Amino acid sequence: MPRRMEDSLFQYPKHVHFECEKCGLCCSDTSYKSRNILLLDHEITRISEETLKAVEEFAEPAEAEGPFTHRMKKQSGRCVFLRENLCSIYEARPIICRFYPFSLKSFDENMYIFSSTKECLGIGKGPLLQQEYFRQLFGEFQKTMNEKRV
C-alpha cells in the first residue's frame, strides 16, 4: 500500500538561528545571482484573485523542473510585489517565498531534506529554530501539494 504524504519524514538543519531582517534580498536579483521566484498553477490563480490582476501582469511561463509552471515577473530586478522591502501579497505569497531562506528537496519518495542558503542576512540571527518550525513548513508543503491535486 502506498504511503500517504503525511507519513513522509523530513530532516532539517540543526543549530540554525533565523530572523527575517526585512532586507528584500530574497525578492531581488543581486550582482551574483538572478532570482527566480517559481510559481505553481494554483498559486497563480490565488495571487490573481487576491490582487485582481491578470496573470500576465505578474507572471510569465517558465521552463522549470518539477511542478512549477511560471516565474514571477520583476521590475528593476525586484519582485513586482515587493514594496519598500515588504511583500505586498504576504498572505498569498508562493510556497517558495514561504520557505525562504530554506528549501526542501526530495531525497526519495518518503524522505525530504531542508537546507538553508548562506546568502540570507537573517541566518545566524534570532531564535534557534526547533523541529516544530520545520514541521510547520513541511505542513505548508503538504497543504500546497494537496491543493495542487484538487
Identify the band that residue 148 occupies on the pLDDT scale cut at 50, 70 and 90.
Answer: low
Residue 8, pLDDT score:
63
Given a cut of 60, is residue 2 above it in pLDDT? no
- What count of Cα atoms within 13 Å lies in the side-chain half-sphere of residue 150? 8
Residue of higher predicted confidence among 110 and 68: 68
Displacement of CA 113 from its chain's centroid (Å) = 15
Which string of DSSP letters, residue by residue, matches the chain? -PPPGGG-EEE--SS-EE------GGGB--SS-----EE-HHHHHHHHHHHT--HHHHEEE---STT--EEE-EETTEETTEETTEETTGGG--HHHHHTTEEEEEEETTEEEEEE-S--TTEEEEEEPPHHHHHHHHHHHHHHHHHHH-
More confident residue, 110 or 10: 10
What's the pLDDT at 3?
A: 40
Question: What pLDDT does residue 81 have?
Answer: 97
pTM, to two decimals: 0.84
Q: Give the chain's largest Cα–Cα span.
A: 50
